[in-house]
Amino acid sequence: MFKLSKIVVGLLFVTQSVSAAIEVREPEAATGLEQKQVVSGTDYMVAAANPYAVAAGNDILRRGGSAVDAAIAVQLVLTLVEPQSSGIGGGLFLLHYNNKDKKLITIDGRETAPKKAHENLFINAQTGKADPWIKAVVGGRSVGVPGALAALKMAHSEHGKLPWSSLFERAVSLSRNGFIVSPRLEKLLSMRINPGLTKLPSINRYFYPNGEPLKAGTVKKNPELANLLSDIAKNGIDAFYKGNNAKEIVDAVSGSIVAPGLLSLDDLASYQAKVREPICTDYRKHNVCSMAPPSSGGIAVLQILKLIERFNMNKLGVNSIDALHIISQASRLAFADRNFYITDPDFHDVPTKELLNPSYLSARSALITNKDMGKALPGDLESYRVANDDSYELPSTSHISIVDKEGNAVSLTSSIEMAFGSTVMVNGYILNNQLTDFALSATKNGAEVMNRVEPNKRPRSSMAPVMVFNENGTLSHVVGSPGGSRIINYVTKTLVAMLDWQLTPQHAIELANMTNRNDITTLEKGTELETLKGQLEKRGHQVAIKDLNSGIHAISVENEKLLGGADPRREGIVMSDLSNTNAGK
């Protein structure tokens, strides 16, 4: 079994030029590895992307709060301490499992396009072609209506136990008194991975005091965010979606010195999170569930699992050449369907049932042979005549996995898209650039692209929060990851490792990553998978070696005990009722 190399002192940072980061369009650069251990618990557990946030969630669970209560506290702190990845200026998908009622729901808090948005939003009037990503990402034009707070409030109304205002205490305190800047945040700022960091004054002043990036180990305060969060804690989400904050969002977006946007006060005031039916499929002896469209990640993960189900993955072995080849081919097929068919179901008829139909998937799986199939075509669903899109989809994302003492669970993936989002900053938080997750071109070869920009529409996403249930309906696993469209491969890897190879969450997460998005097969740099490059090439694969910067967080429920894992590739941790309560404060 592959193990990541141990850390010597702090984080081992890798070198990567800004131009390289831009060229490959990765959501966040790799910033090193940190060895981690599986964490055990008996009553409750939380796994997330930053120690401050995990400590906040764990404290809520210790006080008798629900999984939803803890998720809210975690997300609010992440807004402050992991601003490059997610926050109240972005959106999220949330799975909630009610253990008493044995019921799973999903909440769609994805951003929406402004009412004034149009299909040519990212088309250059002079060339008639879509703007290059570097122009599309930065500024107000790419900002969608943030959905995170609306979704969290909806979840709390049904499944919260502690008062809404109490969930803000840690985030407000840290914002006002300061948090210690992490090595990861310093490294990302030093790389200037998002060009807007140096172009837009407000974000530049916050992250580059005296012209230099924030330094790891220094204390950073954010009084503006503290004031806003205090207002939201007292007055509810209207303090975000209406009033002064809403006006400042609109002014910042419409008045951006780079690519002014179309967001209005009415867009913010009218935003609604949505409850959607989860999508589920059986895999071996388990029931695997995820988020329905506009998530493409959920369908793609479930498709891959069903496409490989006819193969004895356990017999093939952990990250063996045969196993990786089969998964890569299934991924090709799933991505082909994803790019063609998935969009906001409130605007177009998405063939969700057809894409998960056992007969359809059986026929698709038969296409997998011992040789690389090359570029896969989408399946032929005759009633759908659409085109592939050209969205950039660079989610700088974060995942939270939580189980509370009553057995309720949350799997939540949130995002502001590109690292540091649109770089438009308001009241101490960063606004998303999720509109670049739409297809930038409305038509291709005379056919409409389903994921095109339309007013009030939600862009397609690869976020794939997952829950797995045993044959008897009990909760087995809670898992998810950041990583742009590679999320699909990261989550699939972890599920196969836990369900087929019987690995603990930590060991499953630590396995070397392999991705194929219906293009090239990419193997994780610095791992034993590099030795498989030649064998894969003999099977027809075009192979690349590079950093694959997942951020997986998973919790397993086994014999009424909890096991948790956090990705060594980022700075997240796991805490439980057995953890030191002073950790991460």
Q: How far is CA 275 from CA 107, 152, 163, 323, 436, in A?
A: 5, 12, 22, 36, 24
Dihedral class, residue 444 (left if φ above 0, else alpha if ψ from -120 to 50, else beta): beta
CB neighbour burial string for 69-99, b if at least 16 within 10 angstroms, e if fewer? bbbbbbbbbbbbbbbbbbbbbbbbbbbbbbb
The answer to whether 439 and 96 are in contact (CB under 8 A) is no
The answer to whether 516 and 328 are in contact (CB under 8 A) is yes
Q: What is the largest CA-CA distance in the chain?
A: 63
In Å, how far from its chain's centre is CA 10? Answer: 25
Measured between alpha carbons, how far is 385 from 394 in angstroms, rounded to an integer? 26
Tell me whether residue 281 is one of the annotated catalytic residues: no
Question: How many CB atoms neighbour CB 520 within 10 A?
Answer: 15
Q: Which of 343, 397, 413, 521 is the catalytic position?
A: 397
Look up residue 55 and give its amino acid: A
Tokens for 567, please give them. Answer: 């990705």
Measured between alpha carbons, how far is 282 from 301 in angstroms, rounded to an integer? 12
The answer to whether 555 and 570 are in contact (CB under 8 A) is no
Measured between alpha carbons, how far is 180 from 182 in angstroms, rounded to an integer? 6
Beta-bridged to residue 402, according to DSSP, are 46, 410
Tokens for 294, please give them. Answer: 């506009």
Q: 110: closest CA among 421, 463, 467, 439?
A: 463
Measured between alpha carbons, how far is 269 from 490 in angstroms, rounded to an integer? 36
Residues belonging to the active site: 397
